[in-house]
A and B are shown apart, each in its own frame.
Chain A
């Protein structure tokens, strides 16, 4: 079976004002369907660059990135947009909900850009909200929510198109530990139900909720190990009580 993601000798160089900065060099790894992977490294290590490329937001300047066996260099701009829409869900550190907009409309947003609408937006949005326990906040405006609630709505938005792959970029970074645990619990639940999850973080504690960790430093992958003592958010929530 073709791996979901194949990265081959991939690098990324930024050129600004004549100065070249190597953000990523010679990365080589694969991600299978159903994995829960953490990309870990200090800030400025290139982990965000890696995620942006993996998430179709940026292009590598060298090497290859194959998604479901297809080189993304062959994707047109509209194809990239529609792949982001259908196959990828993003969860951001700063939530990125639309202000003055209801929870329902925020979650519905990706469906509005679906080029083959099926007329089931309401059911899909409500199902996504239910899976993060936010269905009772359907009509609230995004700015009326707490940070933890906002991130749960953002996860619902990432889920609404039932994507293959969910990227979570420091999803607990702006949350208190209790809300952070809730988010990790949801992400683990999503992985258990078959979604591939890629988590970007600089915290070992958060990274250890994944099944595998790629360590990155100065644009180089320095280690790629399975997690030996995986943390299960479900149990930790129990401990907090």
Chain B
């Protein structure tokens, strides 16, 4: 290309830039120059916006991650589980059993009725439980252990898995076999590393043959006793031989899908009322609970926390907006002559107003972008640390939160920029003529 051609193409490019673009770009350029001329002051100006936007992003991200963590723990046990407890209680208060009151209204027949597909079609499996504590002895080692008498269906209902050996069968459950399955911690403590399979332990002076060890589960979230610390024996064996009772401690039901839980709950209640000859639901001698209500309570708590933090974010955004209004008013008073000049060369009131609005939106938008980046970086850092600590803590940044933060920061620029922009538009063009 010859020199003249280069000049010509540059001219063509310059001439293409239309006035509309210049109207947008020129205020941005001006406010950028003003911001850069006083970097520290500019930083202080947009600090409120940065903090506000960053906290909104962090709250949205961490709130979701925290909820994901809790829900993951809950669904580890199964969000499609229903619990039936003896004795009436409302959803929000603890069952009577927790107060040490033994209620004997739940029977094996109830479990059978609930297992019957005609009564509750959504239930795919059910397990009955009795629990107690006793001293377990093996080869001179004795320790106080909690035992659970349960049905063979336990494995399926609780999504448990066997590490070695096997769980007891339906037959063993029915004929009161003296067999035991150990939780992992229990096996370790009692056998000190040796293989427990086929060994005989004593529970309440009765002999039980160990036939299996369960896989470690970790925290059960809401269980009173962790599965890892318990000894499992067949339900009837525990009832007759260890406890001498014929009622059930509680029943757990597995529903085919979490979405059928409310329906199944109602059917369970109907079935049990029939079993217990209850006509008035206020006389219920049982209560049905599900994980969904637990999830709901947790979600409510985390939501309240989130809204509280959002309010704090909103307050810092408000303070940031006032900061922007302040800096824009300062800019207007410092640039009276500039505004006068612009009007003298043909700027209309609207042109001046738009210019100052674009400047305030640019400043708040800049704060918004920095805030979004800081928020994302902080959330990522927290997620990394939490994952390093072996928690399920996903790094979630929703595009909605980024969009909301952007919209809010632009909105603040407009709302808090309008008053200074009006002030600027009111400046008389004669100001340009006043001598210093």
Contact = CB atoms under 8 A, between A and B. Distances in A.
Q: Indicate the member of B33, B349, B429 with the most A CB atoms within 10 Å.
A: B429
Interface in B51-90: none
A48 B433 contact: yes
Contact of B19 (A52, A82, A94, A111): A111
B244 interface: no
B346 A113 contact: yes
Contact of A58 (B26, B33, B430): B430
A121 interface: yes
A57 B433 contact: yes
A52 B337 CA distance: 15
B14 A81 contact: no
A68 B429 CA distance: 22
Contacts of B1: none
B351 interface: yes
Interface stretch (A1-9, A84-92, A176-184, A216-224): A84-92
Nearest to B340: A96
Interface residues of B, number: 33
Nearest to B20: A117
B162 interface: no
A225 to B, nearest CB: 26
A90 B37 contact: no
Given A52-B433, A85-B345, 8 more contacts: A48-B433, A81-B351, A93-B435, A96-B341, A112-B23, A113-B345, A119-B16, A157-B345
Interface of A: 48, 52, 55, 57-58, 77-78, 81-82, 84-86, 90, 92-94, 96, 98, 100-101, 105, 108-114, 117, 119-123, 157, 161, 169
A81 B348 contact: yes
A117 B19 contact: yes
Given A48-B433, A84-B429, A90 B14 contact: no
A112 B223 CA distance: 72
B188 interface: no
Contacts of B16: 119
A123 B7 CA distance: 12
Contact of B348 (A48, A101, A113, A117): A113
B390 interface: no
A116 to B, nearest CB: 9
A100 B29 CA distance: 10
A209 to B, nearest CB: 21
A59 B348 CA distance: 17
Given A110-B346, A120-B15, A100 B37 contact: yes
Given A84-B429, A96-B432, A169-B433, A121 B345 contact: no
A109 B346 CA distance: 9
Interface in B329-353: 337-338, 340-349, 351
22 contacts: A57-B430, A57-B433, A58-B430, A78-B348, A81-B343, A81-B347, A81-B348, A81-B351, A84-B345, A84-B346, A92-B341, A92-B433, A93-B435, A101-B30, A109-B342, A110-B345, A113-B347, A113-B351, A114-B19, A122-B11, A122-B15, A123-B11
A94 B436 contact: yes
Contacts, number: 88
B160 interface: no
A9 B261 CA distance: 93
A84 B433 contact: no
Given A121-B14, A121-B15, A52 B345 contact: no
Contacts of A92: 341, 432-433
Given A82-B346, A84-B345, A96-B337, A119 B23 contact: no
Nearest to A105: B26
B299 interface: no
Contacts of B19: 111-112, 114, 117, 121
B311 interface: no
Contacts of A161: 346
Interface in B305-343: 337-338, 340-343
A71 to B, nearest CB: 20
A86 B346 contact: yes
Ranked 5 nearest A-B pairs via Cβ: A85-B346, A122-B14, A113-B346, A117-B19, A110-B345
Nearest to A154: B341
B4 interface: no
Q: Indicate the member of A52, A57, A94 with the most B CB atoms within 10 Å.
A: A57
B22 interface: yes
Contacts of B342: 109, 113
B345 A109 contact: yes
Nearest to A51: B433
Interface in B94-145: none
